[in-house]
Structure 1
């Protein structure tokens, strides 16, 4: 951390003479807590710049609205990869000086240290996370494959799904027998889309729809569903952090990135960029992984990841990228969703209200 502190201290008297606070828009919940502890507190301590947090169900939505309205109040946003690609293409994000990112703690240049795909013109990745299926292990047992999520006869009860097309369509196809490497090839065809919706039809009448990341765990805890999709880190936080009897089905998981971006016209652009450089350094990404089970986006962070905050739980096996968790998975095709998000969500919304 010495290198990061030196950079921040050297700049504090020049770029940050006014020490303007910045606003970071993220997703709330346990994920926000991990960012506050790993990024915000040490950043404020080393620079004197305060960090205010705001939350949204999907931060890309208010970012787009603010920039298009010319009334931007957010300096940094944490968004999904397909949204980062789309908003950058639309000119709604600042282009970043990627070559200014600090080297890894082991000296590896940033361009080589980030997981492939983790750096774009407008975004810097922080975590690797996944959409998984979670269930209450006290209520059901024997869940083994993604197909079980769609099997109401073998596992009766309500299901929880995020209210949107992304991840649901991919999981539906995998549950219907499509091999992971072929999912997006199939989904790119009208027949493949029809096939995915046909599979979703089989559980539509038994589905509870969720929109915010905290909801799946609450649905499980309240007994409103027996299985639900959710974000692996949120499920981990409920299971290990809060002692809930939740288990994760890694089969059929969908890996994704979250990335930091600066909205076009951010009021504190320079401070925002220093925050991103600080937060995505090796040590900070590893520190976040002690709070929540999302994998750091830098390779040099991995050896630094140790125990959960309970001082007992090894974090490695709980990461979506752990070898044992990658027996059957896909990586979210960011370009596919950047191109087809509107089209497929219109189809999804129409399907949702149809009889």
Structure 2
């Protein structure tokens, strides 16, 4: 699956109605720097700086506007953002060298467990969090040494011009070419192999509650089901922007897609429907790096960004939601229903088991690597 950071230039653009809604929300969100000064003075005020990893482009521009600038205004702590394509190689190198120059980094869910086991992160200080932050962020994602900064979903989208409101409702429908005829699309990236295993098992009738762990028997079953749909996949896309374009060009009637891209298109008026049943959700984690030069300030930034109003700003600024569901009430009314953290959508999704994917097999490979190998063999057949 494409990392959210590989889609980092995505940022919501608005039609005339949503521009007004977003403007109203935007006016309210930065005001948190004024409205919570008292709280900041009690728990989050400080001095100096915090050095953070960021992905660049519109993603970083949004963070600066909706998170970093309000944080500095409220706390007196300056944010220095360091731009890199991905954080993991740099974090590993700094850790091995014994010189850590960053304070925080975004770490992909599939690589977090092994890096955490190697002792690269320190515990998140949840005592700095507001009650609303704790109540809005599920206990299951408040990990000891990390908390999600991005939830990214891989889900079905279809052309409303073809099916209207009677399109596919599940991955079983996606694979049903008789009931829903027409060309399909799926990601051709090896990184999406794990997604397709989970998709196929659902299409074959497996309840989402028993999908993980992906035993060898389940993986065999999934590839057998994927055999049924393979002849009907006319496009194995490799770029995040392709699914929407292929739908708009009528080259596909339905395709897997990334929620951020789909939401962006829908809010611009594209005749596309999103299906949340069985959507595959994974996380990118916000971590505080062990040995970083500004440890205390890093903890304060993590606490700040998970406040409901600031979390809403993060979503508006980057195009991806963090985990605090209380942010929904601060978002534009046409955006909130489209997000994975909306309670109605959240009840239908499958969450990635990153710890299992990072686990080692008897041959020394991780489960993620094994699935990738199987995927490449299957594609070559």
TM-score of Structure 1 vs Structure 2, range by shorter chain:
0.7 to 0.9
Shift of residue 339 of structure 1?
2.0
1:169–1:196 CA contact under 8 A, matched in 2? yes
State the secondary structure of the residue aligned to 2:309: helix
1:116 and 1:52 map into 2 onto residues whose CA distance is: 29
Alpha-carbon shift at residue 195 of structure 1 (Å): 1.1
Identify which range, 290-299 or 255-264, moves more after superposition: 290-299
How far residue 255 of structure 1 moved from its aligned partner, in angstroms, is 3.5
Do residues 6 (structure 1) and 41 (structure 2) align?
A: yes
Deviation at 1:115, TM superposition (A): 0.7
The equivalent residue for 2:131 is 104
Given the alignment, which residue of 155, 172, 183 partners 1:132? Answer: 155
Partner of 1:39: 67
Deviations 1:158-180 (A, max 9, x none): 41325323322111110111111
Which of residues 47, 50, 53 is equivalent to 1:24? Answer: 53
Count of residues paired in the alignment: 332
Q: Residue 174 of structure 2: which of 149, 153, 171 is its match?
A: 149
State the match for 1:335 in structure 2: 355
Secondary structure of 2:54 counterpart: strand
Partner residue of 2:272 out of 246, 252, 256: 246
Instruction: Please state which structure has a larger fraction of its residues in helix.
Output: 2
Distance 2:261 2:272 in 1: 11
In the alignment, is the contact (CA less than 8 A) between 1:125 and 1:280 conserved in 2? no
- The residue number in structure 2 matching 1:184 is 212
TM superposition shift of 1:128:
4.4
Query: What is the rounded CA distance, in whole Å, between the counterparts of 1:210 and 1:70 in structure 2?
Result: 37
Contact (CA 8 Å) 1:82, 1:337: kept in 2 or not? yes
Give CA-to-partner distance per residue, 1:85-134, whole Å, 9 cap, x none.
3321122x2212424422234xx7x4x55312222221123454432222
Deviation at 1:276, TM superposition (A): 1.6
CA–CA distance in structure 2, aligned partners of residues 210 and 7 of structure 1: 48
Change in 2 beyond 3 A, CA 1:266/1:215: farther
Tell me what 1:50 maps to. 79
- Asked whether the 8 Å contact 2:154–2:259 carries over to 1, the reply is yes
Q: 1:271 to 1:201 in 2, by over 3 A?
A: farther
Within the candidate set 217, 223, 229, 1:197 is matched to 223
CA shift digits 1:144-170 (9 cap, x unpaired): 221233345533324132532332211
CA distance in 1, matches of 2:260, 2:250: 20
The normalised TM-score by structure 1 is: 0.76
What residue in structure 2 maps to residue 227 of structure 1? Answer: 254
